[in-house]
Amino acid sequence: MTDLTDPSGASLRLSNDERERAVSAIQAHAAQGRLSEAEVQSRVQSARAAVTRGDLAPLFADLPGGVDLDGPGAGAGAGAGGGAGAAYAAPAAAAQPARDPYATPSEPYSRPANRRWGLAIVSVAPFVALILFFVTSTVWGYAYSWLWFLLVPITGAIVYGADGGRDRDRR
């Protein structure tokens, strides 16, 4: 169990996983009838907005047990003794490791190399367009030389639009 009132740990920043464990503990106390619906909503909102462990201390000050922020998948409670502060289960998603947003089961993480090449190509496109603009304008004039600058958005569309929006669906 984490001592939220300990001054040495009160200034430690919370992770999203720790906030969700605190929310689970609040909901478990509500399920046992210790908190009204209005109190639950207020405390859950405060827990999700908490920045440090000290910000969570007032939320559990009047509740038995506490909250375990340190253990993976651990919930609130006074320990193995059971009783009023029995351990509460954290959500299953909290215990899972962070998943790579670009990897699929059949495709290992390989996006950074592709992104570096795409970034290089899109970064060079304006300079290529500028060089082609000056070369063709001296040979044929300025009438249609400006069309080389369309190379910039076309390059971006080809490089970043090639996946058909798969990245947007995963966010």
- pLDDT for the residue numbered 98: 52
Q: How many CA atoms lie within 13 A of 79 on its CB side?
A: 2
Q: How far apart are CA 58 and CA 22, in angstroms?
A: 12
Is residue 120 scored above 60 in pLDDT?
yes
Tell me, what's the pLDDT at 163? 59
Kindly state the average pLDDT of the residues 135-146: 86
State the pTM of this model. Answer: 0.41
* DSSP characters over 57-121: HHHHTTSSS-B--SSTT--SSSBTT-GGGB--PPPHHHHSPPPPTT-BTTB-S-HHHHHHHHHHH
Q: What is the mean pLDDT of the chain?
A: 73
Q: What percent of the chain clears pLDDT 70, i.e. is strictly above it?
A: 62
Mean pLDDT, residues 108-113 taken together: 52
